[in-house]
Amino acid sequence: MAATFSLIEAKTAANSSTSAYIFSSIPATYTDLVLLVSARNANVNYGGYQVRVNGSTSNQGYQFIRGYSNTKQANYRTDMIDVSQLAINNTPNGVFSADAFYFPNYSTTVMSKNFTADSGNMYNTNDFSVRLSGATEWSTAVISSITVTLDTDVFVTGSTFRLYGIKNS
């Protein structure tokens, strides 16, 4: 069966004044969701962003494996779903992050919602980060909204956020 991707909504930072983007009223007509993010932090300090399902700030957790420069790191947290470290405004050549999120079975009401994140970022020619994350929202509610919120500062102009629905055809 071939999968068909349909753009549900696209958002682009038109100026550097927004720290959150919300995809709301997500229809329950698809089998899965994919969120693609290409973003930068306007700050000169490293910053990550969280993905919130249905506005929830509890009953969630994530685990990640990350490699950066010559370092490896793994962590588990239940207080947030922090999925990516963003490229910052002094990253060379205007490099933006490359982040992909996959939400399988988002419209089922018989199980918790899980999603995966694949994130790649460059901070300078000798400092980069690759992160793989798995997250769970311990709720059986259909995912009807997804919020992307930056830890500190705002997203740089040109940062893009695209939400797709997937249907098997």
Q: Where are the beta strands (DSSP E) in 56-126?
A: 60-68, 71-77, 82-85, 87-88, 98-104, 113-124
What are 63's two structure tokens? 């685990």
- pLDDT tens-place values along the chain, 169 residues long: 567 899 999 999 987 778 889 999 999 999 999 999 988 877 766 667 788 888 877 777 777 666 666 776 666 666 556 666 665 656 666 777 888 999 998 988 888 888 888 877 766 566 666 777 777 778 888 999 999 988 777 888 888 999 999 986 5
Domain boundaries, the chain: 3-168
> Is the pTM above the cut of 0.95?
no
Instruction: Write down the number of H helices and E strands in the chain.
Output: 0, 14
CATH code of the region 3-168: 2.60.120
